[in-house]
């Protein structure tokens, strides 16, 4: 049997947490996109100021289309900010912009988890294409020993993606910590606004946490299904 109700017991709680985190991120972003940061700076200006104060003068800031599409590109050394963040003067805009500037600072200072995360990208791209077909075929043939072996190989390949989601956690947490440190210190938001700006970043972190839990639970399910854990073999 390919379809297994046990799968939902493993994966459903993390799936629900992901849905909640995604909802919370969007709703908090939209809520604090309506609250002006006390400095009157746009997201792009706040990120620029944060980079300059750390003497990071060769990172470009670009405007890209999309909603919450903001990211730092370590290869091009460019901060790409969505229109609402780039041009917005809100708590959401400066919070997210400084978070992305935090990634640029991680890169410039050789922050180890970011390097590890970048190293894992090509491996994850490769293994994630192979793992699901192997697990599916393995589950289909699960009565035969070859089926068990395929599922174990699939689970090993899947563990690379799991590692990637786990390494992402310190990277994201640290980028937000760097943003939170400068927001009030450098006068981007007032002390009274600090908690609200942080709330936007905390919701975003919850989505990464949910993704990691989901990945771990998916791996545990396949380890269980292959008989490696839980004595099902
Ligand atoms: Zn980030």
pLDDT digits 0-9 by tens, 88-108: 999 999 999 999 999 999 999
- 220 CA to centre of ligand 1 in angstroms: 26
In a domain, 101, yes or no: yes
| Percent with pLDDT over 70 in the chain | 97
The tens digit of pLDDT for each residue in 46-85 reads 999 999 999 999 999 999 999 999 999 999 999 999 999 9
Look over the chain and give the mean of its residue pLDDT values, rounded to a whole number.
94
CA of 103 to the centre of ligand 1 (A): 7
Rounded to the nearest angstrom, the distance between the alpha carbon of 137 and the centre of ligand 1 is 35
Q: Is the pLDDT confidence value at 41 over 60?
A: yes
Handedness of CA 105, 110, 113, 115 (dihedral sign): positive
Give the distance (Å) from ligand 1 centre to CA of residue 215: 18
Q: What percent of the chain has pLDDT over 90?
A: 88
Is 54 an annotated catalytic residue? no
Taking 90 as the threshold, does the pLDDT of residue 19 lie above it?
Answer: yes
CA of 200 to the centre of ligand 1 (A): 12
228 — pLDDT class (breaks 50, 70, 90): confident
Q: Could you tell me the distance, in angstroms and rounded to a whole number, from the CA of residue 109 to the centre of ligand 1?
A: 16
Residues 54, 30: Cα–Cα separation, whole Å:
30
* Residue 2: predicted pLDDT: 56
Q: Which pLDDT belongs to residue 4?
A: 83
In a domain, 42, yes or no: yes
Q: Per residue in 107-123, pLDDT tens?
A: 999 999 999 999 999 99
Give yes or no for a contact between 151 and 222, defined as CB atoms under 8 angstroms apart: yes
Residue of 54, 62, 100, 194 marked catalytic: 100
Task: Give pLDDT, residue 231.
Answer: 64
- pLDDT at site 108: 96
The answer to the question of residue 163 being in a domain is yes
Between 167 and 128, residue with greater pLDDT: 167
Total domains present in the chain: 1
Residue 230 within any structural domain of the chain = no
Reply yes or no on whether the pLDDT at 178 is more than 90: yes
- Domain holding 160, by residue range, is 5-225
> How many A from CA of 144 to the centre of ligand 1?
44
Measured distance CA(55)–CA(22) in Å, rounded: 34
Q: What is the pLDDT of residue 229?
A: 85
CA of 128 to the centre of ligand 1 (A): 22
Is there a domain that residue 217 lies in? Answer: yes
Query: pTM of the predicted model, to two decimals?
Result: 0.92
| Residues 134-160 pLDDT 10s | 999 998 888 888 998 999 999 999 999
230: confidence class by pLDDT, cuts 50, 70, 90: confident
- Is residue 232 included in any domain, yes or no? no
In a domain, 233, yes or no: no
- Over residues 179-208, the mean pLDDT reads 97
pLDDT classification of 227: cutoffs 50, 70, 90: confident
């Amino acid at each position: 049997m390919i379809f297994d109700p046990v799968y939902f017991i493993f994966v459903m709680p993390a799936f629900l947490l992901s849905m909640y985190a995604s909802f919370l991120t969007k709703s908090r972003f939209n809520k604090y996109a309506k609250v002006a940061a006390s400095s009157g700076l746009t997201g792009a200006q706040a990120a620029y100021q944060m980079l300059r104060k750390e003497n990071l003068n060769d990172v470009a800031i670009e405007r890209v289309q999309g909603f919450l599409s903001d990211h730092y590109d370590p290869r091009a050394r460019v901060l790409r900010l969505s229109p609402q963040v780039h041009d917005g003067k809100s708590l959401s805009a400066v919070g997210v912009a400084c978070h992305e500037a935090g990634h640029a600072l991680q890169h410039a200072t050789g922050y180890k988890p970011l390097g590890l995360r970048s190293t894992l990208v090509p491996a994850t791209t490769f293994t994630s294409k192979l793992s699901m077909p192997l697990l599916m075929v393995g589950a289909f043939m699960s009565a035969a020993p070859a089926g068990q072996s395929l599922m174990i190989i699939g689970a090993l390949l899947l563990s690379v993606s799991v590692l990637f989601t786990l390494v992402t956690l310190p990277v994201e947490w640290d980028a937000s910590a760097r943003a939170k440190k400068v927001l009030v210190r450098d006068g981007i938001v007032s002390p009274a606004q600090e908690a609200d700006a942080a709330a936007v970043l905390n919701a975003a972190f919850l989505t990464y946490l949910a993704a990691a839990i989901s990945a771990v639970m998916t791996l545990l399910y396949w380890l269980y299904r292959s008989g490696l854990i839980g004595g099902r073999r």
